[in-house]
């Protein structure tokens, strides 16, 4: 039985997509074991044919092993370059399944400076850009900003941690996902969901290069359930400088990020299968 370590598992679990269909769990374990102790390894298989679906998960004992593994990308296993990403917990919002280099930081104190933001997040990777948002009329700072890294893995790591202390405030981060990126990801998720229904399983992996293939893995260790959305109530009123994001971020009745009158950079979402966003969006 794999070792259980509760909350720490989210920092140790790696998704591997695009596997050679001949790759075995032993091959997977041997490859990633170079970077640390592997306590769980699984390749998802068709419930009828028992053949590989081309993706799986590896869980390390130590989060440092996952960090080292991601620094060594890309990985080639059995002659095929695979796609590795940090596995997002099942309760993450849909936009947090999309692969992007940019993230939203909400709940800032109004006195927060760009230097303070950089100081906190530079520990997670190379920060390329910080956008501190001000009210166009008053010039006063708003309580959110955007941080762009040079690598999507840095964003993934921050989003998994979710909460940070910044200038005396507990702030929260989410991925900054455009409407087009989210819609593209949702289309892939619907394709995967159809496959999941056909296979009699709840969850679905799809999106990006694997969109519509119906790779589903049900409730494997809690990954594969449906999820809802949590909003950013009170994180600022309007911002139409980033794409077409308009008014009242996070004030929709559904609780999720909503479209503003500037064209709707962020869209509200409902329920859906876990995993719709792996590989979607910009790399």
The percent of residues above 70 in pLDDT, for the chain, comes to: 63
pLDDT tens track for 113-127: 999 999 999 999 999
Q: Answer whether 0.85 is exceeded by the pTM.
A: no
Q: Which domains does the chain have, with CATH numbers?
A: 9-87 (3.30.70.330), 102-177 (3.30.70.330)
- Residue 24, Cβ density class (10 Å: 0-12 exposed, 13-18 middle, ≥19 buried): middle
> For the residues 138-154, what does the mean pLDDT come to?
97
Q: Is the pLDDT of residue 252 over 50?
A: no
Q: Report phi then psi at 114, rounded to 5.
A: -60, -40
pLDDT at 233: 32
pLDDT at 200: 33
Token duo for residue 249: 């971020």
CB atoms within 10 A of CB 86: 22
pLDDT at 179: 79
Q: Give the integer Cα–Cα distance in Å for 93 and 227.
A: 7
The string of DSSP codes covering 112-160 is --HHHHHHHHGGGS-EEEEEEEE-TTT-PEEEEEEEEESSHHHHHHHHH
Q: For residue 171, which of 160, 179, 161, 163 has the smallest C-alpha distance?
A: 163
């Amino acid at each position: 039985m794999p070792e259980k370590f509760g909350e720490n598992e989210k920092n140790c679990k790696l998704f591997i997509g695009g596997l050679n269909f001949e790759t075995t769990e032993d091959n997977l374990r041997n490859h990633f074991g170079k970077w640390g102790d592997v306590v769980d390894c699984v390749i998802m298989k068709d419930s009828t044919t028992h053949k590989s679906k081309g993706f799986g998960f590896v869980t390390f004992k130590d989060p440092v092993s996952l960090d080292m593994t991601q620094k060594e990308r890309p990985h080639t296993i059995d002659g095929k370059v695979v796609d590795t990403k940090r596995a997002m917990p099942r309760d993450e919002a849909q936009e947090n399944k999309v692969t992007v280099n940019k993230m939203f930081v909400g709940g800032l104190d109004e006195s927060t400076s760009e230097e303070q933001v950089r100081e906190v997040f530079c520990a997670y990777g190379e920060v390329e850009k910080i956008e501190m948002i001000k009210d166009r009329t008053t010039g006063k700072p708003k309580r959110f900003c955007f941080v762009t890294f040079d690598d999507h893995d840095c964003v993934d790591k921050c989003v998994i941690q979710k909460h940070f202390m910044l200038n005396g405030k507990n702030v929260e981060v989410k991925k900054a996902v455009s409407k087009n990126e989210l819609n593209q990801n949702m289309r892939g998720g619907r394709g995967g969901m159809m496959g999941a229904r056909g296979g009699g399983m709840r969850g679905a992996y799809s999106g990006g290069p694997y969109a519509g293939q119906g790779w589903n893995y049900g409730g494997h260790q809690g990954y594969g359930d449906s999820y809802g959305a949590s909003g950013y109530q009170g994180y600022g009123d309007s911002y139409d400088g980033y794409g077409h994001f308009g008014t009242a971020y996070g004030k929709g009745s559904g609780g999720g990020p909503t479209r503003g009158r500037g064209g709707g950079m962020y869209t509200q979402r409902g329920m859906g299968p876990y995993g719709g966003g792996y590989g979607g969006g910009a790399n």
